[in-house]
Amino acid sequence: MGRCQAHGNGTDAARLAEGLADGARARRPRHTGTGPTLRDWRRDWRTVRERGALAGLTMQGDPHCLAMIPHYASLAPIAQEVRKPIFDLKQADGVSGGQLQAVARCRKGFEDIAQALIKRLGLELP
């Protein structure tokens, strides 16, 4: 049995993995920070992936998924600066070229989400 590389305090790494496999919360030493370290998160996530716990999970087959929203990374800072939603940005706000097309796609995407939500809630618009 080896020492846990993440903590270096003699915690048995196999026991941590067993605790995660059993669905029980593994006992970990407390950190001085606000939460688990990135190293802990990566190790735990790798364990979940290796066990195949995520196999078969897709958003396309999820009946509760309203939509997949792209990150629109280049538009987010502009929208934050001008204090507008991404789908409401204009050329005067500093959006240009292909970003204008991304704003139009974003607007269409959010309209589709709103329509799906209205339909699921059984609401009618006036």
Same domain, 67 and 44: no
Same domain, 38 and 96: no
**pLDDT per residue as tens digits for the range 49-70:** 777 766 666 777 778 888 888 8
Domain final position from 29, 57, 85: 57
Same domain, 48 and 67: no
Split into its structural domains, the chain has a count of 2
pTM beyond 0.85: the answer is no
Residues with Cβ within 8 Å of residue 112, at least 6 apart in sequence: 67
Specify the length of the chain in residues: 126
Same domain, 66 and 79: yes
Q: Are the CB atoms for 34 and 25 separated by under 8 Å?
A: no
Same domain, 22 and 33: yes
Copy the structure tokens of residue 89.
């940005």
Same domain, 27 and 84: no
- Higher pLDDT pick, 6 / 86: 86
Residues with Cβ within 8 Å of residue 96, at least 6 apart in sequence: none
**pLDDT per residue as tens digits for the range 78-98:** 999 999 999 999 999 999 989
Name the residue range of residue 3's domain.
1-57
Cα dist from 8 to 1, 29, 39, 48, whole Å: 13, 10, 13, 22
Same domain, 85 and 120: yes
Domain final position from 31, 57, 83: 57
